[in-house]
Amino acid sequence: MFHPSYEGHYQDLLELCFFDPGRNTAFVISRVVEATVGSREDHEQLKAKEPYTRRKFTKFNPEGNIIPSLRPPSWTKTLWVDRLPTFPPPPALLHAAYGDGGNNPLPRVKRFMPPTFNEKTYAWFFQNLLYLEEERVK
């Protein structure tokens, strides 16, 4: 029960403890409970004077000339200053993956991968995968 002694905002934590005899376990559900207390006179002054009505939609009808704006910079084509340098893949890796070695290139490609995958070798691992994917797309 809530019996406030003065006006204001109140907040507390409600904890409900339950016990499940079938599982022999207890659990707690907790929620924050809030209340705002004010005088009846304030409540009467703040309540609505008439029922809510939605604003009427009016179509925008501009008068005069409309000047179209320029496209935002994010929509315009990027002007590149320099080309990035190319990094050709190792020919031996490409030959192992896509060369004339049969239908299963996985054992041949594994020779180019690091023996362990850790923070020192992950760049080597993914660089080889990137080389192979780029060649496959070409």
pLDDT value for 130: 94
pLDDT in tens, 18-40: 999 999 999 999 999 998 888 88
Q: What is the DSSP string of 20-86?
A: ETTTTEEEEEEEEEEEEE--HHHHHHHS-SS---PPPP------S---PPPPPGGGSPP--SSPPPP
Angstrom distances, CA of residue 96 to CA of 91, 115, 124? 9, 17, 17
What pTM was estimated for this model as a whole?
0.41
pLDDT in tens, 57-96: 988 888 888 888 887 777 778 888 998 898 899 999 999 9
* Segments making up each domain of the chain, as ranges: 8-46, 91-137
